[in-house]
Amino acid sequence: MRRLRTELALGFRLAFAGGRHGAVRIAMVASAVAIGTAALLLAASVPTMLDARQSRSEARGDNTAGEDRPAGRTVVVAAVEAGWHGDDIRGRLLWPDAPGAPRPPGVPAFPGDHQMYASPALQAALAGPDGGTLRRQMPYRVVGTIGPDGLSGPRELAYYAGYPRVRDRLGQGSWRVDRFGYPAVEEIGDGPYILSVTVLVTLLLPIVILLGAALRFGTDRRDRRLAAIRLIGADHRAVLRIALGESLVATGFGLAGGVALYLSARERAAAFDLLGFSVYPADVRPVPVLALATVVGVLALSAAMAVLGFRGVSIEPLGVFRQAAHWRGRLWWRLILPVAGVALLYPAILGLPDVPEDRTGLGVLLLLVSLIPILPYLVPAVARLLPHGPASWQLASEQLRRNPAGSTRAVTGIVVAVAGAIALQTFFAAAANRAVDSDDPGGPAFLVQFTGRQTPAAMRHRSALFEQVGGVTAGTVAQYVVYDPGNPVPEFVIVGDCAALSQVAALSRCADGDAFTTGGPRRSVTLDAGGSDPAPGARIAVPHDARRAALIGPYLANAGPSVLLTPAAATAVPPDVDPEFVDTGIFTSKEPAAVAGQLRGVAAEIDPLALFTSLAPETDFYAPLGSALTVGLALLLLMMAVGLLLDVAARLGERRRVLGVLAAIGARRSTVVWSVLLQAIAPVLSGLALASGVGAGLGALLMRMSAVPVRFDAPAILGPAAAGAGLALATTVVVLLPAAGWVTRTDKLRYE
Amino acid sequence: MSALLVAEGLHKAYGKTVALAAADLAVRAGEIVSVMGPSGSGKSTLLHCAAGLTRPGAGLVRYAGQDLAQLTDVRRSALRRREFGFVFQFGQLVPELTAVQNVALPLRLDGVSRRAAERRAAGWMDRLGLADKAAARPGELSGGEQQRVAVARALVGGPKVIFADEPTGALDSVAGEQVMDLLNDAARDTGAAVVLVTHDSRVAAYADRGIVVRDGRSFDPAGVR
Amino acid sequence: MTMRSTFLALLEGQAQHGYDLKRAYDQHFGRSRPVAYGQVYTALAKLLRGGFVTVEPGEGDGGPDRKIYKITEAGVTDVQRWLDEPEDPEQYLQSSLYAKVISALLTGRSAAAVLDVQREKHLEAMRELTRRKRTGDLADRIICDHALFHLDADLRWLEHTATVLHELAGQVRR
Ligand SMILES: Nc1ncnc2c1ncn2[C@@H]1O[C@H](COP(=O)(O)OP(=O)(O)OP(=O)(O)O)[C@@H](O)[C@H]1O
Ligand SMILES: [Mg+2]
C-alpha cells in the first residue's frame, strides 16, 4: 500500500518537476480533459434540463383536449400563437369567471383588461429594435413579469393578457379551464436531446484525439526517466503506476478545470437559445449517476490512454526499447467500419421511407470514424504512387512509408472534423437554398384565418387592411364546410369576390354572379351546421351555369371537390350559418420575413385570436445550427491545431538526431526542412481529399433524407478543407521555422 | 569461500554482432573485481548479464544460489533494490528529484517511509562529502558530485554487490580518484562486493583482482601462468 | 639475458648460420645498434655449452662461420620460460618487452599471452601501490602516485600493443 502511494507520489513529483516540457504537457492534457469533462457534464445535465422544462411546461398546461368545463371557479383562456423573427410566442388571453379562479404558474395576479404579464425575453424584444411592430401583435400594457416557474426557459417569449372578450369566443378559439397543469398533449420529444448529445459526443472524439496527442508529448523524455528508475529497482508495474501518477496530476487539473468550465457555462446558460430551447442555470444540474460516471470515465480514459502509451514500448533498466512494430498495411480490417457504415446507411441512400434515425445516425458516425484507420493506409499508398523526386521528398516519403501511423496520427482529427463539417455545411447550404425559394412560388406567403361571419364588403375591407403593408396583395374568402360524413377529405363552399377567388383557384374569367365547381359538376351541397360534431345544415343549390375550375395554392392540398361562389351567387347561403373560417391569403413580392412582423400586427389588431400561418419559411430553420457549426468547427480546428503542433514538435524532437546527422554530412538546410515539411503536408492533403469525398457523400445523403434537392455548394466543401489545410500548414511552419536552426546544428549531436 | 555471484559460459549476440562468446565471472562476497578489456570487447554486456539487466543467449548467472534467468521481473527488480547497487558512467540520476531524494529513491521504491528513507540517504550523503548538496538537483551538481550521489544511492540499500560501469569515465583524474576512494572505502566498510568495469588501470588498481575480456571471452590473467 | 633469449627464439624459428643470425637479429631488434659478430659467437658458444643449441657442419668449405646452429629441446623450453616470466614492473622496460613480443611472434607463440602476463604483473604492482597509498601519509601518496602514473603509462602501451598485434605479426613474418 505504501509502495503504491510512493509510486503515485513519485509520478506526481515527476509531473510537477518536468520543466518547460512538463508544464506544456500538463497544460495540454489538462485542457483537453477540461473540455471533455465540461462537455460530458453538460451532456449529463441534459436530462435534468429537459425534465425541469417538461415539468414547468406541464404545470402551466391548459390543454383540456377539447373537454368542456362548466363555469365556476374557472378561467376562460384563448391561445395566441404569435411569432417574432422565427421564434414562437406563447400568448394566452384570459379572463376569470370568478374571483378565486386558478392562476397560471408564474403569474401573481390576473391581468386586467388589456394588461399583460410578459416574459423577460418578450419584454426585451418589445423594448428592442422594431419593438413597435411586435407591440402591434400584443397591444397590451405590461403590468408584470412572468416568473420562472411559468416559463419553459429564460429565453421563452410568452405573455398572459387580460381580455374579457374571450368569454364571447368559447368554442371558437377560447375554452374554459378549472386548473392549470393539464398534461401536455404534444411532448417536446427526443429531438433536442438527441441533437445536443450528438453534438457533445461528436465533440468528444477530437478531444480524445487531442488528449492522445497531449499525452504523447514529451513521453520519450519521461520514458528515459522511468528507465533510470527501473535500474534502481522499480518493476514493470511500478513504472506503470508512476506514469499513471504522473498523468493523474494533469487529469486532476483537467477535471477541476472542466468543473469550472461547466460552472461558468452553466452561469451563462440563460443567454443561449437554440431552436427555441433555453434553460435556467438552476436547471443545469448533472444527473448524479452520470456526473459520477463522467468523473470516473474521464479518469479511466486518461489512465487507459497513459497505459496505451506504453504499447510497443518497453521500459527496461538499460533504456527504452521501442519495438519497431513492423507496419502491417493490411487493408481488410480497415474496411470493416466503412462497409458497416454504408450497410447501415443503405436504405437511406436508396431513399426508402421510415428508416430509423438512430440507424442512420450510427451509420454516419461509423463512416466518419472509419476515416481514422483508413488514413494510415492511404498515406503510404500515396507516397508509393508519387514519383521519386528530389532528396527531400525521398526522405519524407521513406518516413511516411515506414511509420504511417505516427505520421498521420495528428491529422486524423482534422480529417474527421473536416469531413463532418463538410457533410453538415453542404446540407445546410442546400437547406438554406430551399428556404429562400418557397415550396410553392404561386401560392400565398401567409394565410390568416378568422372565425365569425363577414359580409363581402367587410372581407374586402379586411384585405385592404393587409394591403396597407407595402408590397403585399391579399384576398379574403369565407370558407364553409360541406356536410359529407364518410368522406375523409373535407369539401368546401368558398365565397369571395373575383379577385379573392382567383387567388384560390385558376379561373378562366370571372364576374360577380359566377359560380365554379372543382372536381366535377354537382347539383347541390349540404352545409355543415357547425359545432363540434358534424350535423347536416342548410342545403344550397349549385347554379346550373357553374363552370369548372381548379384549386391552387394551399387549398389544393387539403380540399376535396368544392364549390366556389361569387357574392352575387352566394345569396343561397343562409346568413345565420357561420363559415368555418374566413381566410385571408397574403402574397408578397418581398422577403416574407421582412413583412411577417407587420402582417401579424395587422392580424392581431383585427382579431387577437386570428390564426396566422407562415406558408413560406420566415427564417432559415437551419441557420442557427449552421453558425453554431461554424463556431464549433473553428474551436475544433483550433484544438486539432494544438494537437498537431505538439505532434510535429515531438516528431521533430525524435528525428532531431537523424536530421542533425544529415546536416552534418552536408545536406542543405533547405533539403532537411523541406523533407519535414513534405512529411507533414502529404498526410494533410491526402486526408483532406478523403474528407472532402466522404463529407460530400454524407452531405448528399443528408439532403436526400431531408427531402432537400441534392446540390453541392463549392464554398461549403472547400471552406472546411481549406481551413483544415491552412491550419495544418500554418502549424507545421510555425514549429519548423524556429526549429530549422537547431535541427540542423551539428554541435548538439555530441550530447544526444 | 564460495562465490556470491557466478556467471558461467555467457553468450550474447545482438543480431550478427557477438558481444559475449564465452564469458565467466565469479564474485566472492566483499571483494572488488575489475573487468578490463578493449572497447567493444563485451565488458558492459558481461556486467549487464551478471546483474540480470540483460538476458544472456546462453549460460547461467547465479546470485546467492538463485538462477537470475528464472526470476520474474518483480523478483529481479526487488533484487536490484535490495541486493544490488549501480553506478554507471552518467545519466542515471532522475533530474526532477533533488540529490537526497535521488539517494532515497531505492528505499522509497521498497516501501520505506519518506522520513526514514531521507534520513538514511542524508547519512550517506554526509559520508560522501555531499552534506551541503542535499537539496541540489542533479543539473546543479558537477560531474564528480553527481557520481558521488550515484555512489551514495548505490550504497543506501545496503547492497551485497555494486555494479560499476566506468564510474569515473566522465571525470578527470582527481575527481575520479575521489569517487573511487569513497566507493572503495564504503564498499570495504559495508562488505559489499564490487564489479568494476573500467578502462583505467589506476581505477582497476582499487580491485583485489581483475579479469580481462577480449572479443567476448573473459579470462583471469592471474590464472594463465 | 635478453639477447641470449632472442637468439634462441630466432633459432627456434629457423636453424641458421651465425652470420644469418646476426642479420636477423639486426633486422628485428638491432635497428639503432647492430650487434657485433663477436657478441654473437660468444653468446652462441655459451648456448652450445649449456646444451640449448647444437651445431651441424655446414655443407660448403667448413669454415667456422659456416656452421649451422640448431635449437635443442632444452632451448625451446628456455624460450618458453623466458616468455612466461613477466618483467619486473620498472621503467623503460619496453626494450625487453618488445623483444619478447617479437620473439613470440617469430616463434608462432601467443604474443597476447605475453602481454597479458605482463599486464597482470603490472596491475598487481599497481594494486599494491594503491593499497600502500591508501594507508600512507601524503608523502607516501605522492611517491606512489608517481609510480602509479608510470605503470599506468606502461599498461596503456601494453593495451595498445595488444590491439595491433595482428598487424605486427604480419610484418614480422614477412
Ligand atoms: N544493445 C545492443 N545492440 C546491438 N549491439 C550491441 C548492444 N550492446 C552492445 N552491443 C555490441 O556488443 C559488443 C560489446 O559491447 P559492450 O558494450 O559490452 O562493449 P564494452 O566492452 O563495454 O565497450 P566499451 O569499453 O566501449 O564500453 C559491441 O560490439 C557492441 O557494438
Ligand atoms: Mg561499456
Dump the DSSP string for A495-536: E--HHHHHHHEE-S---TT-EEESSS--SEEEEE--SSS--E
pLDDT at B120 over 90: yes
Among A731, A57, A715, smallest CA distance to A422 is for A715
Residue nearest ligand 1's atom 13 by CA = B19
Output the average pLDDT for chain A: 76
**Is A483 in contact with A471 (CB distance < 8 Å)?**
no
- Secondary structure of residue A351 in the 3-state scheme: coil
Looking at chain A, the whole-number percentage of residues with pLDDT higher than 90 is 1
Residue A519 or residue B74, greater confidence: B74
CA A532 to chain centre: 40
User: To the nearest whole angstrom, how far is the Cα of A223 from the nearest Cα of chain B?
Assistant: 11
Total domains in the fold of chain B: 1
Residue B23 or residue A329, greater confidence: B23
pLDDT at A639 over 80: no
* Average pLDDT over every residue of C3-32: 83
**Is A474 in contact with A522 (CB distance < 8 Å)?**
no
Residue B54 or residue C92, greater confidence: B54
Determine the pLDDT at residue A460: 82
Look at the pTM and tell me if it is higher than 0.80: no
Cell of B79: 533484487
Q: Give the pLDDT confidence of A87-124 residue by residue, as tens digits.
A: 778 888 888 888 888 888 888 888 888 888 988 888 88
Determine the pLDDT at residue A621: 59
**Nearest ligand, CA of residue B199?**
1
H or E element, residue A238: helix A236-267
pLDDT at A375 over 70: yes
Residue ranges covered by each domain of chain C? 2-84, 92-173
Q: Give the pLDDT confidence of A223-245 residue by residue, as tens digits.
A: 888 888 888 888 888 888 888 88
Could you give the CA distance from residue A523 to residue B146 in angstroms, rounded to a whole number? 114
* Average pLDDT over every residue of A21-47: 81
pLDDT tier, A750 (very low <50, low <70, confident <90, very high otherwise): very low
**Enclosing domain of residue B193:** 5-219
Determine the pLDDT at residue B225: 42
Distances (CA, A) of A442 to A107, A222, A446, A616: 44, 71, 12, 11
pLDDT at A346 over 90: no
pLDDT tier, B198 (very low <50, low <70, confident <90, very high otherwise): very high
Lowest mean pLDDT among A334-343, A538-547, B29-38: A538-547
Determine the pLDDT at residue B164: 93
Beta-carbon separation of A6 and B114 below 8 A:
yes
Measured between CA atoms, the residue of chain B closest to residue C163 is: B38
pLDDT tier, A189 (very low <50, low <70, confident <90, very high otherwise): very low
CB atoms inside a 10 Å sphere around CB A642: 18
Could you give the CA distance from residue A657 to residue A679 in angstroms, rounded to a whole number? 17
Distances (CA, A) of B146 to B16, B129, B152, C174: 36, 12, 10, 52
Could you give the CA distance from residue A260 to residue A270 in angstroms, rounded to a whole number? 17
Which atom of ligand 1 lies nearest, measured to the CA of B47?
A: 18
Phi-psi region of A319 (alpha: psi -120 to 50; beta: other; left: phi over 0): left
pLDDT at B47 over 90: yes
Determine the pLDDT at residue A438: 45
Which atom of ligand 1 lies nearest, measured to the CA of B15?
A: 4
pLDDT at B2 over 80: no
Measured between CA atoms, the residue of chain B closest to residue C81 is: B225
Determine the pLDDT at residue A678: 80
Beta-carbon separation of B221 and C84 below 8 A:
no
Residue in C112, C120, C130 closest to B206 by CB: C130
pLDDT tier, A439 (very low <50, low <70, confident <90, very high otherwise): very low
Looking at chain C, the whole-number percentage of residues with pLDDT higher than 70 is 90
pLDDT tier, B150 (very low <50, low <70, confident <90, very high otherwise): very high
Q: Enumerate residues lining ligand 1, CB below 6 A.
A: B 14, 17, 19, 37, 39-45
Tell whether B105 is covered by a domain.
yes
Q: Which residues of B touch A229 (CB under 8 A)?
A: 94, 105, 109
Beta strand A547-548 pairing with A515-517: parallel
* Average pLDDT over every residue of A373-402: 79
pLDDT tier, A706 (very low <50, low <70, confident <90, very high otherwise): low
The CATH number linked to B126 is 3.40.50.300
Tell whether B225 is covered by a domain.
no
pLDDT at A12 over 90: no
Determine the pLDDT at residue B121: 93
Tell whether B44 is covered by a domain.
yes
* Average pLDDT over every residue of A568-576: 75
pLDDT at A314 over 60: yes
ipTM of the complex: 0.89
Cell of B152: 551514495
Determine the pLDDT at residue C64: 55
Q: Which residues of B touch C152 (CB under 8 A)?
A: 200-202
**Is B74 in contact with A235 (CB distance < 8 Å)?**
yes
* Average pLDDT over every residue of A544-563: 74
Beta-carbon separation of B184 and C148 below 8 A:
no
Distances (CA, A) of A27 to A216, A409, A594, B159: 13, 20, 49, 41
Residue C92 or residue B71, greater confidence: B71
pLDDT tier, A30 (very low <50, low <70, confident <90, very high otherwise): confident
pLDDT at B19 over 70: yes
Pairs from C91-96 (Cβ < 8 Å, separation ≥ 24): C91/C150, C93/C154, C94/C154, C94/C157, C95/C2, C96/C2
Cell of C11: 633459432
Measured between CA atoms, the residue of chain B closest to residue C124 is: B205
pLDDT tier, B153 (very low <50, low <70, confident <90, very high otherwise): very high
CB atoms inside a 10 Å sphere around CB C19: 13
* Average pLDDT over every residue of A62-85: 78
User: To the nearest whole angstrom, how far is the Cα of A7 from the nearest Cα of chain B?
Assistant: 7
* Average pLDDT over every residue of A409-423: 76
Q: Which CATH class is domain C2-84?
A: mainly alpha
Beta strand A611-614 pairing with A446-450: antiparallel
pLDDT at B209 over 80: yes
Determine the pLDDT at residue A305: 81
DSSP state letter for B202: H
Determine the pLDDT at residue B204: 92
In degrees, to the nearest 5, what angle opens at C-alpha C16 toward C-alphas C14 and C21?
Answer: 95
Residues of C with CB under 8 A from a CB of B: 84, 112-113, 116-117, 119-120, 122-124, 126-127, 129-130, 134, 148-149, 151-152, 155-156, 159, 162-163
* Average pLDDT over every residue of C35-48: 85
